[in-house]
Chain A
Amino acid sequence: MNYTFQFTEVWRELPYLLGGAAVTLQIAFITFWCGAFIGIFGALAKVYGGPISKRVTSYYVTFFTNTPALVQVFLLYYALPDAGVLLSSMAAVLVGLTLNAGAYLTEILRAGVVSVRVSEMEAATALGMSRLQLLRYVMLPHIAKTIYAPLSNFFVWLVLGSSLAALFGVEELTGRAINVSTASLRSIETFTIVAMIYVVLTVLASGSLALVGRLAFRVKAKVF
């Protein structure tokens, strides 16, 4: 068993791979914010909604959190053309991951909605706080404390989860890694470097999120 590692060919492709990392971050960003949009409505429906909307959201959440994102995207990508909707591979991945993220974010945001207590709101109104003050001094600290850490963890999870886009031919980090490894036949080297890029990417993401959390919301989030 003698294998000589040769990183030179892969190093040459580093800018190409880093471009893929940018696409990965884009996918994570888009799905995170669109998912958060779904999540806010889902969380409000789950806490304050009527019986029907409560039931519908909980079906949505249970179904999407208990099945793999990969098969969900498969279903979108291969079954929707039968119904006359043609999605590009990127669009299918974005829609699928957004729906998936929406389900998880509904659960996370629900915890935030629940953390605001009615009695505290009443006390704040009794003290003569305006709506804006109420939001800023009473609701936000509670919400931030409960949801900031899970949210930033979930963003990191999305950065990793977006790698499934490679299986649909989207050229994000993993997809470009597959391209490089098939072109250079230096598979171990390529995927080692790509793994390192992912590590740096997620450490940067969780580090900067922890910093923002500490400065803006006084939340102590762990990086490691």
Chain B
Amino acid sequence: MFGQIAEQVPLFFNYHNLVFLLQAAGRTLAMTIIGCTVGLVCGFLIAVLRRSLSIWLLPLRLIGIAYVEFFRRIPFLVILFIVLFVIEPLVPGASLLFIATVSICLLSTAFLSEVIRAGLESVPPQQIEGASALNFNAIQTLFLVVLPQSWRVILPPAAAFIVMFIKDTSLASQLGVIELTFAGKMLVNRGFSPLLGFGAVLLCYFALSYPLSRLAAYLEKRLASP
């Protein structure tokens, strides 16, 4: 077994394979970055919406709660299939990468909204009462009082979840998006040893997510409230 692998190593690490893997890693990264950006923005909106007290926003609030609970409680693979079958008739000719990115956005919105909500709730209510005593409106309270105190609670778990999304994108290989896992499958199908193909892919994933998880650990230590 190892003799065969040793034979394949020089063949495996040629220019084209490396470019192929790098492109695949780029797709994985692109899906994660878009997903997390959309997730942070939409998750923030849902989290803020869930804190609002106005009776007019009640239906929206209920939809927000239902959305978050639903998407946090079904596997990413099922989200992928649902998005695939819903988007295909709606947008004919949508690329698989687009479908996978939409699924990641849906997932990350749900999880990051929960993280942000926990962060916003960590601010003591006296602070908000103080702000309303000073005649701050809702937006001023949010941006001048709540957010400056809660971002340090939000950031560390958010970074940890982003690591989770990088790993979740591997399931998009099932649709046929040429990201890292699918690239590994293709290399193995081309005749390279599975240990070599999937091993290289594992190392690529590790290179993507290890710095981020170190950052998460560092932030947790650094931003911990004294």
Contact = CB atoms under 8 A, between A and B. Distances in A.
Nearest to A65: B213
Contacts of B70: 195, 199
Given A63-B206, A191-B85, A75 B195 contact: yes
A195 B74 contact: yes
A66 B206 contact: yes
Contacts of B195: 75, 79, 82
A82 B168 contact: no
B199 to A, nearest CB: 7
B219 interface: no
Contacts of B62: none
Given A3-B89, A71-B184, A71-B202, A198 B77 contact: no
A72 B180 CA distance: 13
Contact of B209 (A66, A75, A164): A66
Nearest to A83: B1
B78 A191 contact: yes
Interface in B132-169: 163, 166-168
A69 B75 CA distance: 13
Given A75-B194, A188-B86, A199 B69 contact: yes
Q: Chain A at the B interface: mostly helix, strand, loop or mixed?
A: helix
A72 B201 CA distance: 10
A177 B163 contact: no
Interface string A177-210: 1100100000110011011001100110000000
Contacts of B75: 160-161, 163, 174, 198
Interface residues of B, number: 41
Contacts of B82: 188, 191-192, 195
A74 interface: yes
A78 interface: yes
Nearest to B81: A191
- Name which of A67, A69, A72, A202 has the most chain B CB atoms within 10 A of its CB: A67
B104 to A, nearest CB: 13
Contacts of B55: none
Contact of B193 (A65, A82, A177): A82
Interface of A: 1, 3, 62-63, 65-72, 74-75, 78-79, 82-84, 156, 160-161, 163-164, 166-167, 174, 177-178, 181, 187-188, 191-192, 194-195, 198-199, 202-203, 224
30 contacts: A63-B206, A66-B205, A66-B206, A66-B209, A66-B210, A66-B213, A67-B209, A68-B166, A68-B168, A68-B170, A68-B171, A70-B173, A70-B181, A71-B170, A71-B180, A74-B194, A75-B194, A75-B198, A78-B188, A79-B198, A79-B199, A156-B73, A160-B73, A160-B74, A167-B174, A177-B81, A192-B82, A198-B75, A199-B70, A199-B74
Interface of B: 1, 4, 69-70, 73-78, 81-82, 85-86, 89-90, 163, 166-168, 170-171, 173-174, 180-181, 184-185, 188, 193-195, 198-199, 201-202, 205-206, 209-210, 213
